[in-house]
Structure 1
């Protein structure tokens, strides 16, 4: 006996220590995850600050130029030289300092007027390449967005030039997307890459400009400015080999994924510190557990045995193995009293389920039968539905619900008469009864509406049965003298959920799906 007790305590001790090791490891992962999340939030916040700063700068500069007297006069006089002389000093200064990649003036709707990145190109319709300019010209609304034009991928501010409520044209300021990487490096980021959508680059840039990007390293369908990382491209962050990869998704003017900004941060030092602390804590916990188990091993085994007895009884109740329930014993302690109470409860549940089963078997009484179709009627559902619902709940089985309706039934009655309509209802009921199981409950809910309750049937199996019924009815032909009548049905399905309060909750969902089937063209199953 002593040997058995020592073995039991040893096994239990190993289990608890194993659990402690597992949860300690999980805690370490959570702490690492929190550290990574902190880095991600910081980088995301920095990106938003940089983006807002660039938005404010470009918008302010655009507003200043669009309302400047020399710019307005240059447009009114159609004088490119005047515009160039006024803006060129500003452009050279900002371009040299890396604050601006281009300044481009347009006439409406999108005719190049002065492009300071290429002064030789003007009076060119760029409406296909610069849809953002077309949008500004038609909406009279400023915009800041990412865009790949014919020259480079970047961030742009587009602004309308309006004089006396008349649109003269628009202007566009742009910074190269690589500027964002440079700004992050100024904040102390050592490793940052930009993944650019190759399809957008290829379709937007001129062939000459695309050569530079074509020669960049590739990762799947992305061109990389920087280092290549074998990571999943989706917004958020990813932890890999002691590094946190912050992945910032950049959408363009058309809301297409134009690029990803990938920032790599080293958190290996933090991880090592966390692991050291965790190992020290784990060692202390293991010694504590060993001490506790040595002190209380006899009490622990006694308690464990008692709990096992009650757990065994609960499993028998759950699996409805009532014949294997042990008999009550003379209680020696409080736990024995609890065990006896469980045994009493099991016997009560067994009796109740038996009574419910007997009642269900008697439901074939004529009071619950539909006189025309010889299946259950609505009264059966109203009076016995909750008892069936309770039985299904106790047995914890999956239960499917099918609600069906004859398509265009009123037209059948109006065309052929109510006798033929009754024949259609009878034929439908007979067909379906041949397709369902003995334990399935078939109810005429009213008029041409029917309900099927399918015990031990999940939603996928319920759908298969519903589709089988639909196909069978679709192939059914009723001979009326020399004429042949065909008809179809629409079906909505659902299943009983654990949080349903009555069977009508599931019926309501099936009814909604039936309505959906009617609305979507009839002769179909919806769930």
Structure 2
């Protein structure tokens, strides 16, 4: 990682609706100076979250409900534009998506995507990667992973997060989106994969599951719920496949 003052890599400021500082990860004097740089941006919109760059920071402003009261949460993450190794450490080389290192940062809270009160999580894995590897070789298998990554990037919004968790497993976080929206995204990804795969003369099959996060659940529960949803789809596919074989 880059050298520097790690305490300044992430700034978090929480304001109440009167714009009084309720919490700051830096001292109040510097927090006030930082808010002056932000200006009145968060006062002029109801369309949250807001994301933009300010000096050397990526800034996200969101509204959250804490014990029945609404607050603004400002998260600023220091960018390291000259540190190629920092970017590489968080990026999957095959797909260009985030990697498992980035997922660990999400779990710990040290990420460009602050925890919001609601988001949907999608799990995806490739059903027939082993078959493709065995038939065409691992170069073709890498192409499959690349195609799935391309489809994910094309079908999610800029504010969402797509990750290659490992092997043929992918995670997508859709911020401020419910489970129905997640299923629509899954279908878009399937169509995009089919289109890209057809152009390569390939047949790529995926299974996917989704779960919805709210403040009453933890990340471990959400992963388990999405995993159960994914394997429910796999079971249905296997039943259909077995019936076809028997017939």
Give TM-score, length-normalised by structure 2: 0.62
Deviations 1:156-215 (A, max 9, x none): xxxxxxxxxxxxxxxxxxxxxxxxxxxxxxxxxxxxxxxxxxxxxxxxxxxxxxxxxxxx
Q: Do the aligned residues in 2 keep the contact of 1:477 with 1:486 (CA within 8 Å)?
A: yes
What residue is the counterpart of 2:100 in the other structure? 378
Q: Of the candidates 390, 410, 422, which is equivalent to residue 142 of structure 2?
A: 422
Q: CA deviation at 1:356?
A: 7.2
What stretches of structure 1 move > 6 A for 4+ residues in a row?
352-356, 360-364
Q: Residue deviations 1:296-348, cap 9 Å, x none?
A: xxxxxxxxxxxxxxxxxxxx72xxx5xx52xxxxxxxxxxxxxxxxx441566
Question: In terms of Rg, which structure is larger?
Answer: 1
**Which ranges of structure 2 fall in alignment gaps of 5 or more residues?**
1-14, 32-58, 62-72, 239-247
Evaluate the alpha carbon distance shift between residue 417 and residue 478 of structure 1 in structure 2; reply closer, same or farther with a 3 A threshold: farther
- Structure-1 separation of matches of 2:91 and 2:195: 27
CA contact (8 A) 2:106 2:113 kept: no
Q: Please state if 1:391 is matched with 2:124.
A: no
Q: Is the 8 A contact 2:123 2:209 kept in 1?
A: yes
For residues 362 and 430 of structure 1, do their structure 2 counterparts lie closer, same or farther at Cα, with a shift above 3 Å needed?
Answer: farther
Name 2:45's counterpart in structure 1. none
2:214 aligned to which of 479, 491, 497 = 497
Question: 3-state SS of the aligned residue for 1:392?
Answer: coil
SS in 2 for 1:493: strand
Q: Deviation of residue 490 (structure 1)?
A: 0.9
Q: Partner residue of 2:174?
A: 454
Q: Which residue of 1 aligns with 2:68?
A: none
Aligned-residue offset at 1:400: 0.7
**Alignment length, in residue pairs?**
178
CA distance in 1, matches of 2:175, 2:79: 15
2:131 pairs, out of 411, 434, 459, with: 411
Bigger strand fraction: 2
- Ranked by relative contact order (alpha carbons within 8 Å, sequence separation 6 or more), the top structure is 2
TM-score normalised by structure 1 residue count: 0.31
Unaligned stretches of 5+ in structure 1?
1-315, 326-342, 523-527
Determine the C-alpha separation between the residues in 2 that align with 1:416 and 1:432.
Answer: 24
SS across alignment from 1:358: strand
- Structure 1 residues 426 and 356, CA, compared in 2 at 3 Å: closer, same or farther? farther
Q: Is the 8 A contact 1:476 1:486 kept in 2?
A: no
Alignment partner of 2:77 out of 341, 355, 359: 359
